[in-house]
Amino acid sequence: MSQQVTVDYEGLTIKIQAECDTAIHSLCKIDKTIDKIHKTASKLESAKVVEYENYLLESKETIKKKIEEFKATLEQYQALKKFATNNHDSRYADYLRVREQLERQSADLTRTVNELTGSKLAMIDEMIDEGLLDAGNNLLAKSQGVLQFSQQIMDKINQIDDISLRELAYRELLKEENQGLSFDEVLSKAQEEYDVLLGKKTRAVIEEYKEDLRNSGVDEEVLESVTTIDEATSVANESITDEKIRKETLKIIIKAIKARGFIVDTKKNLKIDKERNVVKLVALKASGQMAEFEIQLNGKFMYHFDEYEGQACRKDIEPFLEDLKNIYDINILHEEVQWENPDKIQKMHYQHVDTSKNKK
């Protein structure tokens, strides 16, 4: 018997771990900017250094806290997972509740990482490079008694969340030609300067993301049409996470297929089809049976079992799929049979009958 099937799957535990790994990597980007602040600290006003450093440290703590909460919910999910198929059990409702909580935390963690390590972080980097990190406060001190500006406008500027935009707003407020402007007009000028500075940083940041993609085994072409830092952050993080999911799925398939008595030579029988963006794996048994897999990036994998007699194929396929579900938390959402050949015993029988008729 020979059968080829494409499977839509969901590996929630794998996905969560991959997202956490990506989030942890993002902390390194924040540390890199903190180090950059420290290296230029002698050129900056100490109070402003502390303000920016505190902002970055708070960003780190926000991400770390969400990672820990995410992992804690995952532990609850794993404890309740055994009740996933029994909707008559009272704990089934708890399983569904925790699963929904994981989905919400997943989206929240991804959104937070992208927000705190995208354009906002890149802008702080550019502010350091341009020597503008503490310009606003310095100008403010020099302007006392010289320039006139509304305390109400100052109060509104102090409430701007983006630390870099706030700094640029101070600069615009204290320019002589901007005296008498409203808060919205000052903010608009600051935003224009913000966009100019961010534009200078965009190319360098995208190149850094391309390097991250290459190091993760992802084709950098995914950023080919990207034009902004925030878009690059989102695309790169998603692509890197997807590749981690695929690699972990591959490891799990290798473990599960080995448990069925297959031999896996990853040096000879593991290949990457770059044109189709799939990873191919072939596993063999000493008796001649073969299992071939293609792992894609979109939550699909294909399996092809071959060289079986009768329904013996089922003795490997069914336990293999059960292991994926029960041991490795891979939920099979849908199976689509591409093709299936009759088993060998039946084919041999039909050939024998045909031959006998010809002899008569």
- Asked if 254 and 266 touch (Cβ cutoff 8 Å), the reply is yes
- Asked if 20 and 67 touch (Cβ cutoff 8 Å), the reply is yes
Distance, in Å, from the CA atom of 313 to the CA atom of 292, rounded to the nearest integer, reads: 13
What is the CB-side half-sphere exposure of residue 163 using CA atoms within 13 A?
24
Distance, in Å, from the CA atom of 297 to the CA atom of 30, rounded to the nearest integer, reads: 28
The closest alpha carbon to 11, from 83, 87, 106, belongs to 106
With tokens 């909460």, the residue in question is 69
What pLDDT score was predicted for residue 140? Answer: 52
What pLDDT score was predicted for residue 179? Answer: 82
What are the residue ranges in the chain where pLDDT is below 50?
136, 146, 345-360
**Interhelix angle 92-117/12-39, nearest 10 degrees:** 30
What pLDDT score was predicted for residue 360? Answer: 39
Distance, in Å, from the CA atom of 157 to the CA atom of 172, rounded to the nearest integer, reads: 11
What pLDDT score was predicted for residue 50? Answer: 82
The pTM score is 0.85
> In a 3-state reduction of DSSP, which class is residue 76?
helix
What pLDDT score was predicted for residue 248? Answer: 95
What pLDDT score was predicted for residue 194? Answer: 96
pLDDT tens figures, 15-24 = 999 999 999 9
Structure tokens at 101: 């909580």
pLDDT tens figures, 178-228 = 888 999 999 999 999 999 999 999 999 999 999 999 999 999 999 999 999
- Asked if 335 and 6 touch (Cβ cutoff 8 Å), the reply is yes
With tokens 């902002």, the residue in question is 55
> In a 3-state reduction of DSSP, which class is residue 301?
strand
Domains, the chain, in order of start with CATH, read: 2-9+242-348 (3.30.160.110), 13-240 (no CATH)
What pLDDT score was predicted for residue 79? Answer: 92
- Within 10 angstroms of residue 310's Cβ, the number of other Cβ atoms is 12
Taken in order 91, 97, 103, 106, the sign of the CA dihedral is negative
